[in-house]
Amino acid sequence: MGYTQSMNDYSLFIYSSEGSFIALLVYVDDIILAGNDKEEIELVKEALNKTFKIKDLGDLRYFLGFEVSIGKKGIMMNQRKCALELLTDAGLLACKPSVTPMDNLVKL
């Protein structure tokens, strides 16, 4: 379909043509499609669905522990959910926050 595999990340495939840019990222059984050409994205989804029977989950919200939100200022990513799960598992969810979690005069 004209996609080129990235030499830096073998799970990333890129399509670029006449002002159109699409990035397709594959991780196990998850795929992220991002780009500036909605028609091309729909063509890719149709082609993938014919071969693999994919399910479109809509806009990206979570991926590999990252929460993703798209707003007027751009794309924001955070690991809030992952951090809350770690604190809960460690029994530290109700702890008081600290600017510096240890004495900054300690020499390691």
Backbone angles phi, psi at 67, to 5 degrees: -95, 130
> What integer is the mean pLDDT of 88-108?
84
Q: How far apart are CA 33 and CA 3, in angstroms?
A: 12
Domain identity same for 34 and 72: no
In a domain, 105, yes or no: no
Residue 100 has pLDDT above 80, yes or no: no
pLDDT at residue 15 in the model: 95
User: pLDDT tens, 28-38?
Assistant: 888 999 999 99
> What integer is the mean pLDDT of 49-75?
89
pLDDT at residue 107 in the model: 84
pLDDT at residue 64 in the model: 84
Q: What is the pTM of this model?
A: 0.69
pLDDT at residue 97 in the model: 79
Residue 26 has pLDDT above 90, yes or no: yes
Domain identity same for 48 and 78: no
In a domain, 4, yes or no: yes
Residues of the domain holding 85:
59-90
Backbone angles phi, psi at 84, to 5 degrees: -65, -40
Single-letter code of the amino acid located at 89: D
In a domain, 102, yes or no: no
Domain count, the chain: 2
Domain identity same for 10 and 34: yes
Domain identity same for 51 and 70: no
Question: CB within 8 A of 24, min separation 6: which ones?
Answer: 3, 12, 13, 14, 15, 31, 32, 33, 44
Place of tokens 């994919």: 54
Domain identity same for 53 and 63: no
> What integer is the mean pLDDT of 98-102?
75
Per-residue DSSP letter, 97: P
Three-state SS string over 60-95 comes to CCEECCEEEEEECCEEEEECHHHHHHHHHHCCCCCC
Domain identity same for 43 and 77: no
Average pLDDT value over all residues in the chain: 90
